[in-house]
Amino acid sequence: MLRRGFSPWDTIYDFGRRPGDLKRLIPMLPLAILLVAAAIPAFSQVAPAATRDGLPLTLGVGVSDYNYDFGSGGRMVGVSAWADWDLYVLPGKPHNLSIQVEGNALDFGRPAKVPIMRQDTGLVGVKYRLLHDRNILTYVKYVCGIGSIDFTNDINPNYKHDDFAVWAPGGGIEIREWRQLWLRVDYEYQFWHHTFGPHDLTPQGFTIGGSYHFRPPSAH
């Protein structure tokens, strides 16, 4: 039985006790995105009429390269997907604050000593744009959610999967490539809370991919 650090995460932890819980959760991300899209207008101010020319939604996919921080360490490659919903905090101002939902699956380049290694995350949080230009933007973010890991265990061969609470600061840059298509380079540093003891697992790495902004660049 793993030790848990503090009670606010107990509900998340208990959800993750059943093997495969996170893998069943990740396909629900599109539903989560729709719920966010439906809920945000009720909590944010109405956008000016001049900027109502497209959903304030960004969808993207990419390739991730992470240090998985398990055993002797190493790097794995995977796929990522994300969705951002821009908030209108001040009327007439650029929508610098966003809700972000992301999923990540590291499943390629497994280490020889841990041939079943896999790490999945489903995270949601906020993103804030620092530089907001027609053709380039930079941002910082903070997301949290659930992480799932498959591993080998010489002491207890039946224990080879677990889920943990995860939170992750990060940041990145986007460059407009063509019309509403943007190149995104994202960095994320994850904390998997009290993984196999009092210490956190800290996978970290980069994701490179493409984003489609439903709102035309002229509206940014």
Structural domain includes residue 145: yes
b/e 66-99 (16+ beta carbons within 10 angstroms → b): bebbbeeebebebbbbbbbbbbbeeeeebbbebb
What digits encode the pLDDT tens for the residues 28-87? Answer: 454 455 444 444 444 444 444 434 567 889 999 999 999 998 877 789 999 999 999 988
Q: Is residue 105 part of a domain?
A: yes
The Cα 220–Cα 215 span in angstroms is: 8
| SS3 state of residue 20 | coil
Establish if 1 belongs to a structural domain: no
Domain count for the chain, please give it. Answer: 1
Residue 2 domain-assigned (yes or no): no
Q: What is the pLDDT of residue 213?
A: 93
| Residue ranges making up the domain that contains 101 | 7-43+55-219
Full-prediction pTM beyond 0.75?
no
> Per residue in 100-119, pLDDT tens?
999 999 999 998 888 899 99
pLDDT > 50? residue 13: no
60 within a domain of the structure (yes/no) = yes
Residue type, 85: W
Higher confidence at residue 134 or residue 150? 150
Q: Rounded to whole angstroms, how far apart are CA atoms 104 and 120?
A: 6
129 falls within a domain: yes
Instruction: List the single range of 6-10, 18-22, 57-61, 148-152 with lowest mean pLDDT.
Output: 6-10
Any domain includes 166: yes
**Within a domain: residue 101?**
yes
Question: Nearest-CA neighbor of 150 among 158, 133, 166, 162?
Answer: 162
pLDDT on residue 184 = 98
pLDDT at position 11 is 37
Render pLDDT for 164-208 as a digit per residue (tens, 0 to 9): 999 999 999 999 999 899 999 999 999 998 777 778 899 999 999
Question: Which CATH number characterizes residue 96's domain?
Answer: 2.40.160.20
pLDDT level of residue 209 (50, 70, 90 thresholds):
very high
